[in-house]
Structure 1
Amino acid sequence: MFPSVSASLGFTRAAAVLSLAVALTARPARCAQRCRSPLSNLSANCWAHLQPVNMFNSYNVKFYHSKALTSPYPGSHVERSQVPKDKVGWLVEWKDYNPVEYTAMSVLAGPSWADPQINDKGFSPKFNERDGEVERKSLNGLYVVENGRPRNPAGRTGLTGRGLLGRWGPNHAADPVVTRWKRDGSGNKIAHPVTGKNILQFVAIKRRDCGEWAIPGGMVDPGEKISATLKREFGEEALNSLQKSPEERAELEKQLHRLFSQEHFVVYRGYVDDPRNTDNAWMETEAVNYHDETGETMDNLPLEAGDDAGVVKWVDISEKLKLYASHSYFIKLVTEKWGAHWSEDPGPECCE
């Protein structure tokens, strides 16, 4: 079955836009560091320098998977087929491409959060659409469906099936980036000694599954609003809300409502370069920054690791951070928003 023209065009456009986000994550561009807003709001001048002139022509887009090509696959001994950088894109012909097929037993067991296998009787997913309570639309536009399977819009990963991911196609997550200014004992903001910019801190968790530090996010439940997911995941992972008494949980809910109902901004919406991605299933997220300017709100929310978190703490933000998936890139965009310290090497204001 050949993909439709409209789907192919959607893929081409998505691949071009996605190339910028993940390429910057894998190897940060000085130009991007100086543009003071999320990708969707880049100035025309900086955007022109960052993107190829014919930005929607995939043949002229240099796209790099990084974490989505790593082996062994998380939680297994499965090795991906090796994919050279010049053959990641689907528009590059590769007749000998022979990816490994793998779906984890935890997914095949049929939990409520997972789809059945494509060929299971009675399973007729509506890809690129809202499918009942399940959102199968991608944040990056249309994706190709080939032989009944969705195709990763970012390119080949060396692995087919779903791996650890429950849904065929996009698997939607939400990442709350909760920040405050680093302060001294007198309550004054602390500036970095080299750049003179104030230092931001964010709430970070150490993931139980891989031991990497990350933003405390999680999967969007079917029918759930992103705003509800953001608040729920932060409560469960950073405040251990699931283990609280009803009275403690009610008090936590009040404080969380205060934090999550204030002004916030969307840091990033789209594809994530994630080690769990496969050719047929991939992670997408909406990362949202909730900034506690005075620090008073978070003073009343004692951090306590819970759910998928092994440890939770406030972490100083800088380019030295090594975080899970594309989280370092999201954090960098937050520092640009607030004019906070990120790198001791300022780089040029923008490419010339």
Structure 2
Amino acid sequence: MQGQVIEKQTTEGNKYVDSIPSLIPVERQSLLSNVDVIFNSRFAYDSHFNSVDEDPTAPGDNNSGNHDYSSFNLQQLRFEIKGKIHEKVYFRFRHRYTKNYNIGGIDHVSQATDMAFARIDLGPRTNFSIGKLCADWGGYEFDFNPIDILSYNDIVEYADNYLVGVGVSHTLESKKHSFTFQVLNSRTQTFEQQYGDSAPDDITASEYPLAAVINWRGSFFKGLWETTYSYSFFNEADNAHMNYIVLGNKFKFNNKFVLYYDFHYSDEGLDNKGITSGIVSTPLVDPVAVKDALYVENWARAEYMVAPKVNLLLSVMHSNHYWKDNPDAGADDLLSVSYGVIPEVQYFPFKEYNMKFYVGYVYRKYDYTSYAQTAYGVGDYTTGLLSFGIIAPFLVL
């Protein structure tokens, strides 16, 4: 171990030299200046509400606003370490302690591990990444740090968003546009683990369950309008592919007001998200993974800084769930619609530190078509979550 010489003073004012052993060799301590250790956290006191519309023909919701329970909890706790270990080599690792520890059957990594990758700079504006990556879907909902999202819309909530693979990114000389291309596993679990016996008989596992993701990020009008658009193709199974399009937009009206809008379109030859399959798989039949599911979503978020330390937010969500392969020729493809509204107030107590107190309410409503209610016995319902807490990426190193 190396020693560090420190000059101290006695109570009489006389100087003396003390040697304190250092756990980290001196020649390696410079590496820490390029490394960040972060605890991405959201601590909250939450009150949960729900209601079930037992009679869809009656106006309004039955049992509206029923309180289930209230409790303290850690909604988010993600340990992150990232930094440079060489002038051209960067690493990032983030692990979630609020998710089940399940090992992926394909990638052999815990599903609680968000990212574990290395990035190599091939040039001033080009880099190569390998490992468990954040899929570059596009859209601003998924771009936010997860601690800043009280509730995700359906596609992001149910998707495998962190996948093992490789990626190449290039930024144009103007720095206004950048492009990313990734080749990833199409999921974390094997075909049998994810679908099992629920897969249709004419659908078989692919020998190459891969996905290709292309993303474009742009900046226009001196940064007043920014975009993050993507197209993804998934080889989910033989004769079953998925096409996923995301169009993310960010509008800066001034230094105080920002508006985000995302459009999502996921056409799935085999229902990867499982929402439509969950509707069809009633308790009276065996679980079914349906073919030709379609999800179309809209997500918007407005932020207005009304005072130097007070931020007002409003997020709205909408999602349509379709089954295009419904054998009932007389049925509409649309089976259900979900909505979400999230008003939130944030207070920043410290000027130069990104810790904030917040209060927010997450309202979600799930409506089923009359056909789905009759055919599958489902019923409309709503959920509510009143949350008070603290959001902070605690940078400890």
Q: TM-score range by the shorter chain?
A: under 0.3
The answer to which structure has the higher helix fraction is 1
TM-score (norm 1): 0.26
Bigger Rg over Cα: 2
TM-score (norm 2): 0.24
The answer to which structure has the higher strand fraction is 2
| Relative contact order, higher structure (CA 8 A, sep 6+) | 1
